[in-house]
Amino acid sequence: MDAELTATDQAHLRRALELAEGGRGRVSPNPLVGAVIVRDGSIIGEGFHAELGGLHAERGALADCRERGEDPAGATICVTLEPCAHQGRQPPCVEAILEAGIGRVVIASDDPSEKTAGKGPAILRDAGIEVAFAGGDEAAAARRLNQPFRKHARTGLPLVTLKMAMSLDGQTTTAPGDSPWISGPESRELVHRWRAESDAIAVGIGTVLADDPLLTARVDGARQPVRVVFDSQARLPLDSQLMETIDQAPVIVVTAHDAPGERRSALGHAGVEAIAATDIESALRTLGRRGITSLLLEGGQTLASAFLASDQIDESRTFVAPMLLGIDEASRRAGPVPPPGIPALDARGPLTGPPARHEALESTSEQVGADVLIRARYKEW
């Protein structure tokens, strides 16, 4: 933190964080950003990055000043992420701040991307503008706001969130012939919102063969995520719901390098992008190069175990439903068995070694309908 922030600065940063949420699900791979322009303790302009390719938060707040008939010269701008200094879909925000004559810039968090990191604040300081970075709760909240962006900027990989639902006796699947739902309707509605906020949804081929899911976000006006199937031998049925709705949302199939060429070709002719990967990390790296910064991992157990063994789970969201399923081993054997080879993706068999242990950095719980939702975060980016 470069300078001590006032309680007013902190309050306006919290308002900027609220504004930034307005772009959730609509700006990826760009970050969520909010900005507030303040003079004499009063807000004279607000803005946030609302859609990919649209005005950045700082330029939006300056435009709001003009609409209100306010002059931002000499004012303070409080922004959740350091202003950019490079030309992208929009011109650099640093230029707009200089042109407007802003006198002070308060920043909640850094931008770790190579083309931006530190450049904007340095230009502003060189121009004689006071620049202050926040610490404490506001800085932590600003970093949490953009964990997918930050991880992708630092590693090239998407942020992975594992979604699970389980009964009180620890079951994650119901018996064959029973209702497939463990979580309640309110929880399932929330999952659709998470899908709409994610760049991609991932499942294993076992889940597809057992459930034939759509994996779309049933939210009005939602941007549909890319649907990713980890399918080592390219067995995705051409008549599955995923294939029949490929015009609504793209499908990527991750196969092993030895997957039959004719199956990969058939998927390609049907509009699927098939990518070959050696392991989970290489698959995620390929997805990251396609601009995917966040991935919601929905199923099933084999794939989740592979991600855990590869240390590629950043967060988890687990619904615990108030029910006891009491499924016996015979019922388990009667259900569909996921194919082997997903952990390594190259058909060499599952990974060996002790089970992966993941201690949460922080966790919270909340009631969602009749269920309890436990959120845990394992890594900080």
- Residue 114 confidence (pLDDT): 84
- Residue 348 confidence (pLDDT): 41
Residues identified as active-site: 58
User: Residue with structure tokens 């919270």?
Assistant: 364
Phi and psi at 44, nearest 5°, equal -115, 0
pLDDT mean by block of 10 residues, the chain; 381 residues: 78 98 95 97 97 95 97 98 89 96 97 89 96 96 97 97 94 78 95 97 95 94 94 97 96 97 96 97 98 93 92 97 78 43 48 64 97 97 96
CA distances 131 to 134, 266, 338, Å, are 10, 56, 55
Domains and CATH numbers, the chain: 7-145 (3.40.140.10), 157-377 (3.40.430.10)
Contact 295, 202 (CB under 8 A): yes
**Residue 194, both tokens:** 């998470």
Q: Are strands 34-39 and 76-79 parallel, antiparallel or unpaired?
A: antiparallel
Contact 23, 33 (CB under 8 A): yes
Distance between first and last Cα of the chain: 18
Alpha helix segments (H runs only) across 112-201: 119-126, 136-145, 147-155, 185-197
- Residue 355 confidence (pLDDT): 56
- Residue 356 confidence (pLDDT): 62
**How many other C-beta atoms are found inside a 10 Å radius of the C-beta of residue 52?**
13
- Residue 326 confidence (pLDDT): 86
Is the model's pTM score more than 0.85? Answer: yes
The SS3 assignment for 45 reads: strand
